[in-house]
């Protein structure tokens, strides 16, 4: 009985370790700052048809070929850079997953290569903005929430043309206050901590139309001059 229990626990430990290692490998794979991962970016999968046999590489730079991608199959685009697409599908004699040049594919959208470049460039900018807790005209409300969190105040208006509205964010800072005291014995003057107040540091108002930011207003002058504009969400003609 004890031998069986020890063996069972050992197998559980091995399975847990293997699962952690798989998660770590996936985490490392999904952390390349030069790669846009489509499952984190678009709601609907982007499907591409292979029209030419093409070498498939293990790296986005195309440094090591691991097989040849077969034609006449439709694949889901998993990730991309400006110059390569990551897919998984049928290779010559085996299943393959790796990086392939855009020239091997076609899509229902005749401008898919150019649109995917726009999507890539936009997403790189969005990630940088979110990392900096900043916003820009052209971002979606979901992206604004990822960057700044929940607004403290919201207002919306629905019309025949869609929905418009405004989100407001306020940043606070804790300010320490001191009072001046005089020592009754020595006459020395010193500062003594009194209390802390939470004061408004800055205010950001984000105006939107149909889920896309159209204007940004900041209370701080030095930031108001640096409002950025990015490409709105890319629309594909699938």
Residue 87: per-residue pLDDT = 96
Q: How many CB atoms lie within 10 A of CB 235?
A: 8
| Contact present, 119 and 36 (Cβ < 8 Å) | yes
Q: Find the mean pLDDT for residues 103-129.
A: 93
In this structure, the dihedral spanned by the alpha carbons of residues 191, 193, 198 and 201, taken in order and rounded to 10 degrees, is 30
**What's the pLDDT at 133?**
94
Query: pTM for this structure?
Result: 0.72
- Residues shown for the chain: 238
Q: Is the distance from CB of 21 to CB of 75 less than 8 angstroms?
A: no
Query: With 60 as the cut, is the pLDDT of residue 44 above it?
Result: yes
Cβ 96 vs Cβ 136: under 8 Å = no
**CA pair distance 138, 119, nearest whole angstrom:** 13
100 vs 238: CA distance, rounded Å: 21
Mean pLDDT of 50-67: 94
Q: Which domains does the chain show, CATH number per domain?
A: 28-118 (2.30.30), 133-229 (3.30.1450)
Rounded distance between C-alpha atoms, residue 70 and residue 75, angstroms:
11
d(CA 156, CA 167): 9
Predicted local distance difference test score (pLDDT) of residue 39: 87
Task: Say if strands 95-100 and 85-90 run parallel, antiparallel, or are unpaired.
Answer: antiparallel
Condensed to tens digits (0 to 9), the pLDDT of residues 144-163 reads 999 999 999 999 999 888 99
């Amino acid at each position: 009985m004890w031998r069986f229990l020890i063996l069972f626990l050992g197998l559980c430990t091995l399975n847990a370790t293997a699962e952690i290692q798989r998660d770590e490998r996936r985490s490392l794979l999904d952390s390349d700052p030069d790669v846009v991962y489509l499952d984190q970016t678009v709601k609907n999968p982007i499907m591409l048809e292979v029209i030419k046999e093409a070498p498939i590489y293990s790296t986005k730079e195309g440094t090591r070929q691991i097989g040849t991608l077969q034609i006449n199959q439709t694949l889901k685009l998993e990730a991309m850079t400006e110059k390569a697409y990551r897919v998984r599908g049928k290779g010559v004699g085996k299943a393959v997953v790796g990086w392939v040049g855009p020239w091997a594919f076609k899509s229902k959208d005749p401008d898919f290569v150019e649109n995917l470049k726009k999507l890539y460039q936009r997403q790189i900018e969005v990630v940088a903005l979110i990392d900096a807790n900043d916003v820009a005209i052209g971002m979606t409300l979901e992206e604004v929430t990822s960057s700044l969190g929940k607004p403290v105040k919201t207002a919306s208006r629905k019309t025949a043309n869609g929905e418009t509205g405004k989100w407001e964010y306020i940043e606070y800072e804790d300010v320490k206050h001191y009072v001046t005291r005089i020592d009754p014995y020595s006459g020395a003057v010193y500062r003594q901590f009194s209390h802390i107040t939470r004061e408004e540091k800055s205010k950001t108002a984000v105006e939107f139309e149909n889920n896309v930011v159209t204007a940004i207003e900041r209370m701080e002058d030095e930031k108001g001059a640096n409002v950025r504009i990015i490409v709105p969400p890319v629309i594909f003609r699938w």
